[in-house]
Amino acid sequence: MALNRLRLFAPYVLVLCATLYFYRLADRFVYDPQSGRLGPGAWPKILLVSLMLVCIFEIGRRALILAGVLSESRHLDVAEEVIPEALPEEQAHPLAVLMAVLVTVLYLLSFETLGFFLSTFLYTAALMWIGKFRNVAWNLAISFLFTFAFMFAFMRIIFVDLPIGVEPFAKLSTALMRVMGVH
């Protein structure tokens, strides 16, 4: 029950707190004021106040529904109104999402150290594993193929300077670049 209530209010309270914090920041922008002109904080403040009002409205509305004063009236979107059973989408398991986010963070942290090839190869294999493609041989083969293809397309065709990593990983990257004819 308490958890449900927390879920009901938490996003709005969180946004409201963040809004208050950002409003304080907007109040302290450093600039040379010009008479009769709105400062650089005016526009963000309008947005922040509007955001605050919406959050307060929604928190109040939800509180009144919980207290039984208001009945829950959820307006249907266009799709639901035309076809009520429309768009039943299956969502990913939160654990899979969490793992995907974690490997992405590790990938980005290792990107410049391991170099594009090695970090991307490992990342692709991990992503496919999280995506339930768990045949190890095929997983590694496809990861290699994807990484090689991306490296070739971006370095050879679009001329993007992808990181080669630090030694000893740089040796692998430069060897592959030689194979691709990238100088």
Residue ranges in 102-161 that form contacts with another protein under rule CB under 8 A:
104-105, 107-108, 111-112, 120, 123-124, 127-133, 142-143, 146, 150, 154, 158-161
Under rule CB under 8 A, how many of the chain's residues touch another protein?
77
H/E stretch holding 143: helix 136-152
Least separation in angstroms between CB 66 and another protein: 16
Burial of 32 (0-12, 13-18, 19+ CB in 10 A): exposed
Torsion angle (degrees, nearest 10) of CA 132, 133, 135, 140? -130
Least separation in angstroms between CB 12 and another protein: 8
DSSP letter for 37, please. S
> CB–CB of 117/178 below 8 Å?
no
Which tokens hold the place of 97?
Answer: 């999402």
15 contributes a contact to another protein by CB under 8 A: yes
**Choice from 75, 84, 136, 181 touching another protein (CB under 8 A):** 75
Q: Is the alpha carbon torsion for 44, 50, 52, 55 positive or negative? A: negative
Binding characters for another protein, 164-183, by CB under 8 A (x = yes): --------------------
Least separation in angstroms between CB 177 and another protein: 16
Least separation in angstroms between CB 83 and another protein: 6
